[in-house]
């Protein structure tokens, strides 16, 4: 997830229509390159199929798991840690 992006958490009871609402919001935000985070890799594939059935093609946005988000953020965290170490050693 890019720096400066907002995060929306949608919670509610089972069978309350959360998935349909998330997909509707995701499709409505494609011009802003949204990120949809789902619990498991199998959910990524299922959601992608549902979205493609709805739209036919998706040219923006990302769908992944929390692991994907943390994996993508790892280089930035390492760079921050390195800068922090350099700053402390220069003091």
Q: What percent of the chain has pLDDT over 90?
A: 37
Confidence of residue 23 (pLDDT cuts 50, 70, 90): very high
Residue 3 has pLDDT above 70, yes or no: no
Per-residue pLDDT at 69:
82
Radius of gyration in angstroms for the set of CA atoms belonging to the chain, rounded to a whole number: 17
Contact 20, 51 (CB under 8 A): no
Reported as a pLDDT band with limits 50, 70 and 90, residue 64 is: very high
| Mean pLDDT in residue range 7-32 | 89
Q: Where exactly are the structural domains of the chain?
A: 18-90
Nearby residues of 73 by Cβ (< 8 Å), 6 or more positions away: 1
Closest of 51, 1, 3, 6 to residue 26, by C-alpha: 51
- The pLDDT of residue 43: 92
pLDDT in tens, 30-59: 999 998 998 899 999 999 999 999 888 888
């Amino acid at each position: 997830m890019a720096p400066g992006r907002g995060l929306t958490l949608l919670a509610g009871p089972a069978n309350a229509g959360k998935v349909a609402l998330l997909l509707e919001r995701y499709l409505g935000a494609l011009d802003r390159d949204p990120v949809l985070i789902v619990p498991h890799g199998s959910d990524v594939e299922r959601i992608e199929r549902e979205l493609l059935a709805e739209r036919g093609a998706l040219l923006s946005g990302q769908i992944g798991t929390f692991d994907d988000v943390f994996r993508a953020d790892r280089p930035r965290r390492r760079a921050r840690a390195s800068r922090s170490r350099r700053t402390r050693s220069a003091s």
